[in-house]
């Protein structure tokens, strides 16, 4: 598998991992790793900041695919195939159909910024 195909597969698997979070058939360990994976994928904060040459992007190229691969191994195959099918229908006309899923993440980061600003001022 070339790099382009791997990136496309990763782009398809992240929404499937998110959907697997809601399935009762998904084991608890998979849900915990999936939550960490989705949180890391959507978080604007990286373990190694992107402005550090090479290492900043290297963590995105290693950590995120590693978390996705670990999560995919923990999800039972029949649940994963169902989640992949559901993930295909998440986007309509290039836009997310369920945009409100981003609201908790945005609220979390607004709260973090507010707490930091309150401490500094």
pLDDT of residue 98: 63
Query: pLDDT-derived band of residue 11, with 50, 70 and 90 as boundaries?
Result: confident
CB of 72 closer than 8 Å to CB of 79: no
| pLDDT at position 92 over 80 | no
| 22-26, 84-88, 90-94, range with the lowest pLDDT | 90-94
Q: What is the mean pLDDT of residues 60-86?
A: 87
CA separation for the pair 113, 107 (Å, rounded): 10
Average pLDDT for the chain: 80
Is residue 45 within 8 Å of residue 55, measured between CB atoms? no
Structure token digits, residue 26: 């998904």
What pTM was computed for the model? 0.60
Average pLDDT over residues 104-108: 81
What lies within 8 Å, CB to CB, of 59 at 6+ separation is: 46, 47, 48
CA–CA distance, 43 with 4 (Å, rounded to integer):
23
Which pLDDT does position 29 carry in this prediction?
92
pLDDT classification of 77: cutoffs 50, 70, 90 = very high
More confident call, 56 vs 28? 28
């Amino acid at each position: 598998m070339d790099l382009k195909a791997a990136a496309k597969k990763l782009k398809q698997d992240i929404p499937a991992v998110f959907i697997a979070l809601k399935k009762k058939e998904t084991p608890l360990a998979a849900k915990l790793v999936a939550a960490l994976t989705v949180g890391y994928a959507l978080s604007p904060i990286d373990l190694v900041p992107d402005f550090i040459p090479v290492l900043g992007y290297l963590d995105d190229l290693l950590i995120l695919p590693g978390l996705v691969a670990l999560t995919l191994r923990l999800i039972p195959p029949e649940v994963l195939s169902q989640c992949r099918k559901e993930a295909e229908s998440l986007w309509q006309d290039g836009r997310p159909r369920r945009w409100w899923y981003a609201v908790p993440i945005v609220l979390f980061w607004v709260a973090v910024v507010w707490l930091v600003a309150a401490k500094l001022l």
